Amino acid sequence: MSANNPSDLPVVSDRLAHNAMRNVNERIIEALLFAAAAVSVLTTIGIVYVLVSESIHFFQHVSIVDFLTDTQWTPLFDDAHFGIMVLVSGTVVSSLVALLVAVPMGTIIAIYLSEFANAKLREIAKPILELLGGIPTIVFGYFALLMVTPLLQKFLPWLPGFSLLSAGLVMGIMIVPYIASLSEDAMRAVPMSLREGSYAMGATRLYTALHVVVPAAFSGLAASYILAISRAVGETMILAVAAGMQPNLTWNPTEPAATITSYIVQVALGDLPHGSIGYQTIFAAGLTLILITLMFNILGQWLRRRFRENY
């Protein structure tokens, strides 16, 4: 028998062929898995593409200066005005109200759970917060319009049926779980030795929490606040239901006003032809929204780098 004859080595060659097949299979699978991971990048590219391309059409009709400085937002009127600040004001006011509720409440809950509560209470409290965070925003909108507004009207009889105030308050409640759980994680990551150092000096729990744990976990707290801002700015349904949808340039939370997001909903509910200027406004509004959230995200990254945990 000659060793040069391939058929003399069936086992080895079979195995090699098999291995080669295996290799090809592995490559194909890896490529598929990579494609799945790339979907998230495609999503981002898609978002940027859609917002920018439609906005370009929009800005061919409306100058950026007018967009930023006009004090009226009446895109569907004959005398159309496109002052985005009108919508931005509603977004800013409602977000501020929400943050005034969510930041203190979320931080207090986080400090309480991380520094005071025992394991048992934490086991009960965390699911409650998760359930609160899981309530659909439309249900929160119902809550704001039909429960919180009437309640507020008992104290402020002149409060209109739609207001940034009641929508903002409920948005605040909605955001509490995000701040509480992220901040608590950050504080629990602070090493015990720092706390012991403080207790050994005769500090109380609260003093230790506020003067050692909070500063040590600051970057985590900042991250949770930034996420809260993104949530507040991007929240839609609570505002669409409870804040009214007429554009109103105001800094007064007790007035009704449209926000960037509720304007988009309002237009989408109607039947605007694809490609019309009215259709393009929602992409310009969306672009503004994403730029605002992006700004806060960059600020968040910067804060995190600036105050990286150094314990």
**199 to 6, 112, 139: CA distances (angstroms):** 79, 17, 44
In the range 44-103, which residues lie near other proteins by CB under 8 A?
44, 46-47, 49-51, 53-54
Which range binds other proteins by CB under 8 A, 10-18, 60-68, 80-88, 280-288?
Answer: 280-288
Question: Is there binding between residue 172 and other proteins (CB under 8 A)?
Answer: no
Minimum CB distance to other proteins, residue 2 (Å): 31
Minimum CB distance to other proteins, residue 130 (Å): 6
Question: Is there binding between residue 302 and other proteins (CB under 8 A)?
Answer: no
Question: Is there binding between residue 303 and other proteins (CB under 8 A)?
Answer: no
Minimum CB distance to other proteins, residue 157 (Å): 20
Question: Is there binding between residue 277 and other proteins (CB under 8 A)?
Answer: no
Task: Give CA 72 to chain center in angstroms.
Answer: 27
Q: Which residue has the tokens 């779980």?
A: 177
Identified binder of other proteins from the candidate list 68, 146, 189, 299, rule CB under 8 A: 146
Question: Is there binding between residue 166 and other proteins (CB under 8 A)?
Answer: no
Report whether 235 contacts 174 (CB < 8 A): yes
Task: Give CA 51 to chain center in angstroms.
Answer: 18
Intra-chain end-to-end CA distance of the chain, in Å: 74
Question: Is there binding between residue 156 and other proteins (CB under 8 A)?
Answer: no
Which residue lies nearer to other proteins by CB, 97 or 237?
237
Residues 244-268 as b or e (16 or more Cβ within 10 Å = b): bbbbbbeeebebbbbbbbbbbbbbe
